Amino acid sequence: MKLTDLTLTELRDALRRGETSSVEATQAVLDRIDAVDPAVKSYLTLTPENALADAAAADKRRAAGDDSPLLGVPVGVKDIICTKGVQTTAGSKILEGFVPPYDAFVVEQLKKTGAVILGKTNTDEFAMGSSTENSAYMTTSNPWDVTRVPGGSSGGSAAAVSAQLGYAALGSDTGGSVRQPASFCGVVGIRPTYGRMSRWGVIAYASSLDQVGCFGRTVADTTAIFQATAGHDPHDSTSLSVAVPDYEAALTGDIKGLRVGVPKEYFVEGLNPETEKAVRAAIAQLADLGAEIVEISLPHTEYALPVYYLIAPAEASANLARYEGTRFGPRVTGDDMISTVKKTRALFGEEVQRRIMLGTYALSAGYYDAYYGRALKARTLIKNDFKKAFEQVDVIASPTTPTTAFKIGDKTDDPLSMYLNDIFTVSLNLSASCGLSVPCGFDAAGLPIGLQLIGDTLQEATILNAAYAYESATQFYKQTPNIKL
C-alpha cells in the first residue's frame, strides 16, 4: 500500500510505530500532487520547501518523545484562512499578492499540534459560490469525474482530500460550503456550531454565518483535525468559551436509542430519485443499528434560501467595503480617489459584485425593513424550528444536496439554479446547530451521495458518533476515485 492510500489515523499510527516518517509521507503527498493536481487543480499555492522543513522538524519532535495528535501529518488549508508568510488571496484578484503577517487561530492550532501544511486550497472568490467556478484563478475539478464540479466554496479542500492530496483539510461553511463539497467529493466534512472554531484570521464573507470546518476521508480523520483546531480564542468575540470535549473518545459506534428526526420538508420535488433512495437507505441503516426514526417538521424551511440570500449578501456588502486599494492587495490608480476605488473594486468577480449589490440594496434606506429586517425575523422562526425539533430528537438526517455533482459550466449562467444547491444546508447556518456530511452511496454514474446529519448546539460528538456508526456499517469511504489524467 502506498503512503498516500493511508487515512489520517492510519498514517498517525504508522508514524507512532516508526514504520514511516513525516518527511517520507510529506514527500509522497507532494509527489502525488505533482502527478495528479494538474488534472484536479485543488491547490492555489503550494509550499513544498516549508512543508518538508516542517516535516523534518516533526520527525525531530517525535524522536524527542513528542506525540502530539497531528504531529507530522500533511494537510491543506483553504485560501481564505490567513497563513503567515504565505499568500492568501480568498480566490480573488483583489487580494493577489497579499501575504498575511500572522496565522489565523486555527492555523496556529494546527502548527502547535505538529501538522504539516502543504499549501492553500482553491475556493470560490471570498467563499461565494457552490462550485469553485467563481475562483479568479482556476476551476477545481471533481476527482470522481474531472468534467464535474467539486462543489463549493471549499471545493479545493474537498477535492484535495478526495484525491489523496492531503490527509485532511480546513475549509469554511457559510451556507453549506463544507458539507456540499464533502458530499460531491465523497469525503466527510463537518460544520461545527458557530463559535466552536475561531474565525480570527479568516477573511470574512458573512460574519454571523461564517464558520471554519474540517474535511477528512473518514469520520475519525475529520474528528482528529477538528479536535486539534476547535477551542476558545480570546481574539474572536464570537468564540465560545466552552471546554472542548474528547471528540475522538466519543466515537464508540453505539447509537442504540438515538432519536433520528427525518424532516418531511427535505424530501420534496426536485430531490434526485437516486439521492433520495440512498439517503433513505442510510436512514434505514441507522435504524438497524438501534436508532429510533422519528418524522419531524421544520415548517419554515421554504424561507431559508431567500433569508440566507438577503442576510449573507448584506453582511458581505459591509465586510467587503474595506477592499478599496489603499491597504492591501493591488491598487488600480485612477484620476482621483473615487475613480481609483472604482477601478480597484472592478477586480471583484461577477458573483462577488452581484452579492455586494444585492446586500447594498437590501440595506439601503427605504428597503432595510422590507428586506433585511424581515429576513432577520424569518431567521428567528427557522432557529425556533430547530429548537423545537431537538426537543423531540437527538439528530436530524437528510440529504446533503439535492443532486450529485453537476458538469462544469452547467449552472454558471443561471445563478438561481446554482443557489438551489444549498437548499438543504443553509438552514443550519441560520440556526445555532452543527452538521456534517458523510458518504452514503453512489449514483448510476458513480458519483458520491452525501447523508447530512444535524445536531443541536455543541452536539458535535453526537453527530460524529452517529456518522461513525453508519460509516463502520457501510464503509463507502474505502472507495476512491480513479482520476483520469
Number of other residues whose CB lies within 10 A of the CB of residue 307: 23
* Of 119, 140, 120, the residue nearest 129 (C-alpha): 140
Grid coordinates given for 460: 458535535
Q: Is 165 exposed, middle or buried (0-12, 13-18, 19+ CB in 10 A)?
A: buried
Active site residue 364: no
The one catalytic residue among 22, 42, 135, 153: 153
339 is catalytic: no
Helix ranges (DSSP H) in 258-327? 273-288, 304-319
Return the C-alpha cell found at 102: 500572522
In 10 A of CB 254, how many CB atoms? 12
**Strand order in 292-296's β-sheet?**
43-46, 116-121, 74-78, 168-172, 212-216, 188-191, 434-442, 448-455, 395-399, 259-263, 292-296
177 is annotated as an active-site residue: yes
Strands 212-216 and 259-263: unpaired
C-alpha distances out from residue 456 to 286, 391, 394, 465, Å: 18, 10, 7, 14
CA distance 118 to 32: 12
CA angle 107, 113, 117 (to 5 degrees): 50
Among the options 172, 177, 433, 437, which is catalytic?
A: 177
Question: Can you list the pairs that 284-290 forms with residues at least 24 positions away whose Cβ atoms lie under 8 Å?
Answer: 285/470, 285/473, 285/474, 286/255, 286/258, 286/260, 286/397, 286/466, 286/469, 286/470, 287/260, 288/473, 289/255, 289/256, 289/469, 289/470, 289/473, 290/254, 290/255, 290/256, 290/257, 290/258
- Distance CA(451)–CA(470), nearest Å, equals 10
Q: What is the DSSP letter of 372?
A: I
DSSP 343: H
From 78, 157, 431, 433, the catalytic residue: 78
Q: Give the three-class secondary structure for 169.
A: strand
Q: Which candidate, 479, 483, 459, 449, places its Cα nearest to that of 182?
A: 449
One-letter identity of residue 448: P
Phi, psi values for residue 257, rounded to 5°: 85, -5
CB 5 within 8 A of CB 164: yes
Sequence-separated (6 or more) residues with CB below 8 Å from residue 379: 307, 311, 430
SS3 assignment, position 457: coil
Q: Active-site residues: which are they?
A: 78, 153, 177
